[in-house]
Amino acid sequence: MTNLITQLLEELGPGHMASTAYDTAWAARLGEIEPEISNHSLCWLAENQLPDGSWGAPAPLYYHDRVLSTLAAMIALTYHGRREHDKAQIEKGRLALEQIVGNATTGLQADPNGATVGFEMIAPVLAEEAERLGLIKNQRDRILGRLSQMRAKKLAYLQGKTINRCVTMAFSAEMAGSDGQHMLDIENLQESNGSVGTSPSATAYFAAYIRPGDPPALNYLRKVINPDGGMPNVAPFDVFETAWALWNLSLIPGLNYTEKLKSHLEFLSNTWEPKRGVAFSTAYSVKDSDDTVVTYNALLRFGIEKDLASVLAYEEEDHFRCFDLEANPSISTNIHILDAFLHAGFGRNNASVQKVLGFLHRSRDRQFPFWADKWHASPYYATAHAIIACAGVENELVAESVEWILKTQNRSGAWGAYLPTAEETAYALQALWVWDQKAGRVPRSALLNGARWLKENLDLPYPPLWIGKCLYSPTLVVRSAVISALALTG
């Protein structure tokens, strides 16, 4: 176990993420502007078309992800696919696209965690482009057509306002399409690393349509392309990767305080801005409460205290927001904030603690004792973190959730909302171990069976369960949870 922890700490840094079809498809559009990136991206799309002809996460099937990824890939191949193989893939993709679009109304509503980031603004842009290319029928009266009407209203509302690097919408700048480019504050849109919102897809859009061939944007894309030729959903995400990984490791009693661990703690501590906190990346201008509070929690668990004013700055009337102007609050963010308050010594009757507790009571699933969050496709993520935060302090809120986790363990010992995964099994084991230590007894067999399965499946590829503009997997964040769970239960 020591070797696994040492290796993880050595690898932590800019952020490691598997390639996504959505972002890779936007990079493929660069064509003659940057042939090398475009060709690598086209090859990746060719190698990663799913058996049914669509693109996106192979599993789980999350409809928002599949719609955007397939539309984006088909458009890119139509523009720049030159090989016979590309043409065959386009035809196969066309059949898949017809089925996906035809079932969009029920499919999108079935996604339990709601829309991917910026979906209501991005999907209409891609759908209208696909219509013009003859890839899909007119969507006027279907859900994608109705989304187009909603987007038009939002564009009208934003008239006179501009999007720069300090606004969250920069992350989804491609939603401007060809008709909304007036919203972009072009001179102040890029980050210092040349990216737009540290997003490969937004940056590729910028380099293809806003400032064709922009050198800083292209240099950024060259740096973040994965070895397999695809693009991640976001890069870099050094703060997010480090904070979540150290938080997972902080659960391990008696963790060896190595020089490498110390250097990561110093990095997080030095990144912190009093009264503002942190962003998910040192290259990103927009700070948020989730990265701020997980960084706070990770540092505090290792004995480094930062100002809670940076967290309290996100307080709303009945919850804590993650970003300014967000459409709906994040449940996991509020769970992490509750964790911070309780570990900082806030009493149960503290007004801010009561606010979060009330929000969590209201937001729990009405049929089952778990929480589903907009940043993660699995209920085990938010629910496990709620149990870890509340165990021994607010047991009543999460006791039924502990029973739910125990009841949903597979015979193999694993857990998974869609299919058994190492990530979800790790979350379940972390939560059960903490509950067993602080609140109530957990059957030893549940921990042992889960740990045995996890050891046997330690190195399998991790399915993308995190929700951005598409589903993605922050590899080392997931691996840190797996290592943490094995250290606790092994």
Mean pLDDT across the chain: 94
Q: Tokens in use for 265?
A: 């703690």
- pLDDT, one tens digit per residue, over 281-339 is 999 999 999 999 999 999 999 999 999 999 999 999 999 999 987 888 999 999 999 99
What's the one-letter identity of residue 249? Answer: L
pLDDT score recorded for residue 84? 74
Give the predicted TM-score (pTM) of the model.
0.96
Q: Is CATH 3.30.530.20 the right assignment for the domain spanning 21-164?
A: no
Q: Is the pLDDT of residue 153 over 70?
A: yes
pLDDT score recorded for residue 151? 83
Q: Tokens in use for 279?
A: 């962003």
Radius of gyration of the chain (CA): 22
Distance CA 298, CA 296 (A): 6
Going by C-alpha positions, the residue among 61, 67, 62 that lies closest to residue 25 is 67
* pLDDT band at residue 109 under the 50/70/90 scheme: confident
Residues 204-243, buried b or exposed e (16+ Cβ, 10 A)? bbbbbbbeeebebbbebbeebbbeebbbbbbbbbbbbbbb
Going by C-alpha positions, the residue among 332, 330, 325, 375 that lies closest to residue 116 is 375
Delimiting residues of CATH 1.50.10.160 domain(s) in the chain: 21-164
Q: What is the mean pLDDT of residues 338-363?
A: 94
Delimiting residues of CATH 1.50.10.20 domain(s) in the chain: 238-489
- Which is higher by pLDDT, 3 or 141? 3
Q: What is the mean pLDDT of residues 213-236?
A: 98
pLDDT score recorded for residue 162? 92
Q: Is the pLDDT of residue 413 over 90?
A: yes
Distance CA 416, CA 336 (A): 22
Q: What is the CATH number of domain 238-489?
A: 1.50.10.20
Does residue 236 have a cis bond before it (omega within 30 degrees)?
Answer: yes
- Which is higher by pLDDT, 134 or 215? 215
Distance CA 66, CA 54 (A): 7
Question: 482: Cβ–Cβ under 8 A, 6 or more apart, which residues?
Answer: 422, 423, 426, 454, 458
- Which is higher by pLDDT, 367 or 235? 235
Distance CA 478, CA 483 (A): 9
**Percent of the chain whose pLDDT exceeds 70:** 99
- Which is higher by pLDDT, 191 or 148? 191
